[in-house]
Structure 1
């Protein structure tokens, strides 16, 4: 297949590109805001790289020979939207540009959504749960899911939305302060610094290693259907657990600093129900948190 990956120089995107480039013809469209061409250094000679935003997809990709689009070129952290609410509009408009391109090309779309949509919903989180908007970020994500549904109903564009849970792994450095807490704690503790945890540290996340996310995306690319699916591990761990595992792997004994949580609408717990993803996509995560951290450090 000829595959276009938006955000393909970013954290998740670069891992996907590296995994699929041997079997597919890959083009990357990335404005390099939180991406980095160094993430693609091992495959750069095997791909076409276009440095631009998703909003310009139709002018930069005039060829309609694309079979599938993996749309990851979406600002992926809630604080980004809090700092700049105008990102909501640009994320939605970029998604419309991607779906318009898919409509013209007759291509299917796999796009990133988020487990943040489940904020306030009891665990485990199922795709059919009643969800709502709790911040600018979830407004953008939910709207993109609705746009995908409209393009399916009105224009027969097949798409799969993947509600990523807390993804961590290689090539995350360029995200800086927006990186997953696993990576941020790791970087701090490798320098002997003390990680800071909001509250008592018993908040939990379904931490999913990026290689499991790659598995989900590649499975989704093979399907000509419409739907939304969770991508996690089906297990949750507290922030205290993360520090404990990191200490074990690093051979350190660093105690975290606990401070009062300054954030409104803070997510308390996430846990993916993977029944639908397993039944329909064949998704089966392989990485426990311990295994993922070991490979990340290794």
Structure 2
């Protein structure tokens, strides 16, 4: 349990998105009701998604005039499409606009916690938060790393969180950027089978590994850093990589499907050179900062997520 200090006003950017929405929801459930939810107007979904949030104020992404008394900023707004090739567009949102939000934090003397990404490590399987391990493979990762470096060059304290493979409720509108847990569940409901890549890089069929972390754990880590006064970058994962097959097995288990129809397919040639066969968060720094809470197991997280999905689909 987190014991929250008194806060006058909290700003969440990207509040109509996956992680931003869940942060706003947790804050509200904890009794913090003075929230500004910031995002593009057209991204806000039907009011039902925000029906549990009291005393919130919807603002356009660029409407920063007269924002005062902000005590904490959770900056989750970004272009997260790893296949976006327009560098000016990506840098404009993920770097230049992020600097504007950071400037707002300095003016308001508020805490600043922002979303970075594990994609900055590229194909490097060593994820310790040092520059030698950083090797971005796309414009998205480059934009995230550039902002990380900018933040660490500043004296004003801020916390960057390098998210690994986050899954859970609220990601339904992410489209092609949705988690494999979401995509596998959709395929299963449509065809009663789950498709995964055949073996690559010395890994067997469907045995490529990721550090899957449940959304509730990601939000808890954000809440933890709201209470701390630190200036650093931290990996956000469980520290335990698991194969894609394990997500599929948990989906089959959830639906009591004993046949477990796997469909292993060839990886497209264009993807092979840039495909990460293994990612795992080094969370020693996170633990050293004082975060000592248990993570949801993959089985627990997938079960909770499927319960949420089946409730929303009903």
TM-score by length of 2: 0.85
User: SS of the residue aligned with 1:260?
Assistant: coil
- How many residues get paired? 286
Aligned partner of 1:17 in structure 2 is: 24
Shift of 1:9: 1.7
Tell me whether 191-200 or 288-297 shows the greater mean CA deviation: 191-200
Alpha carbons 1:88, 1:136 under 8 Å: kept = yes
Deviation by residue 1:202-239 (Cα, 9 ceiling, x = unmatched): 21100000000001000011112210111111111111
Matches of 2:168 and 2:41 in 1, distance apart?
19
Alpha carbons 1:5, 1:71 under 8 Å: kept = yes
Equivalent residue in structure 2 for 1:3, among 10, 16, 22: 10
Larger helix proportion, structure 1 or 2?
1
Equivalent residue in structure 1 for 2:237, among 225, 228, 232: 232
Q: Name structure 1 gaps, 5 residues minimum.
A: none
Is 1:219 matched up with 2:233? Answer: no
Equivalent residue in structure 2 for 1:49, among 33, 58, 66: 58
Is 1:78 matched up with 2:82? Answer: yes
Tell me whether 234-243 or 108-117 shows the greater mean CA deviation: 234-243
Is 1:58 matched up with 2:78? Answer: no
Alpha carbons 2:79, 2:90 under 8 Å: kept = no
Is 1:110 matched up with 2:139? Answer: no
Aligned partner of 1:274 in structure 2 is: 283
Shift of 1:103: 1.5
Is 1:297 matched up with 2:306? Answer: yes
TM-score by length of 1: 0.89
Alpha carbons 2:198, 2:264 under 8 Å: kept = no
Aligned partner of 1:196 in structure 2 is: 195
Shift of 1:87: 3.1
With over 3 angstroms needed to count, the CA separation of the structure-2 counterparts of 1:57 and 1:275, relative to structure 1, is farther
User: SS of the residue aligned with 2:289?
Assistant: helix
Is 1:177 matched up with 2:176? Answer: yes
Alpha carbons 1:167, 1:209 under 8 Å: kept = yes
Shift of 1:160: 0.3
RMSD: 2.0
Matches of 2:18 and 2:294 in 1, distance apart?
19
The structure with the larger Rg is 2
With over 3 angstroms needed to count, the CA separation of the structure-2 counterparts of 1:280 and 1:42, relative to structure 1, is same
Deviation by residue 1:161-193 (Cα, 9 ceiling, x = unmatched): 001110000011011221011111112212225
Aligned partner of 1:288 in structure 2 is: 297
Tell me whether 227-236 or 22-31 shows the greater mean CA deviation: 22-31
Matches of 2:166 and 2:215 in 1, distance apart?
6
Aligned partner of 2:130 in structure 1 is: 128
Shift of 1:197: 2.5
Q: Name structure 2 gaps, 5 residues minimum.
A: 1-6, 200-205, 308-314
User: SS of the residue aligned with 2:191?
Assistant: coil
Alpha carbons 2:125, 2:280 under 8 Å: kept = no
With over 3 angstroms needed to count, the CA separation of the structure-2 counterparts of 1:177 and 1:29, relative to structure 1, is same
Matches of 2:54 and 2:162 in 1, distance apart?
31
Is 1:92 matched up with 2:100? Answer: no
Aligned partner of 1:243 in structure 2 is: 248
